[in-house]
A = this chain, B = another copy of it.
Amino acid sequence: MSRGHTDVPEPVTEACPITEVLDRVAGKWSIGILVAAAQGPIRFTELERTVKGISRRMLTLNLRKLERDGLLTRTVHPTVPPKVEYALTPMARELHATLGELVGWAERHRSAIATARAAYDDARAAD
């Protein structure tokens, strides 16, 4: 959350369920991981390859966060070499489905947004 260096009591803002979801899904990678794991159980290295651009460190941190929130299960197979599989929990599958709605919105309005931006930008460019 991070509220800077001051320490005002922050009277409101909490108890907001939207913030709750977003905090869970925030960051550059959480969703990518969720999507990659949606296909079925997936291994660490597979994730590293599938979620393009992610660093090993960020992958680990995000996996831990998602696991902690009960969105991912981590299964260690005591073989050698080690094999660890991550899978979505039912709760996470629901989330994944709901995110689909957002994707729908994004796809429907993608071009409208691009247009709005262009308009806004060259309205200011015309100073």
Using CB atoms and an 8 Å cutoff, list the residues of chain A in contact with chain B.
Answer: 1, 3, 8, 10-13, 16-22, 24-26, 28, 31-32, 35, 52-53, 67-70, 91, 94-95, 98-99, 101-110, 112-113, 115-117, 120-121
| Contact status of A13 and B26, CB under 8 A, knowing A20-B110, A99-B18 | no
Nearest B-chain residue to A55, judged by Cβ: B4
Query: In the assembled complex, which residues on chain B have CB atoms less than 8 Å from the CB atom of A103?
Result: 17-18, 21
Please state if B105 and A21 are interface contacts (CB–CB under 8 Å). Answer: yes
Looking at chain A's contact residues, the main secondary structure is helix
| Contact status of A106 and B21, CB under 8 A, knowing A26-B26, A52-B10 | yes
Closest Cβ–Cβ distance, residue A125 to chain B (whole Å)? 13
12 contacts across the A-B interface (CB closer than 8 A): A13-B32, A13-B53, A17-B110, A20-B110, A21-B103, A24-B113, A26-B26, A68-B116, A69-B117, A70-B117, A94-B105, A95-B105
16 more CB-based (< 8 A) A-B contacts, given A68-B121, A98-B101, A98-B105: A10-B52, A11-B52, A12-B53, A13-B53, A17-B110, A18-B35, A18-B102, A18-B103, A20-B106, A21-B102, A26-B26, A70-B115, A70-B116, A70-B120, A91-B109, A91-B113
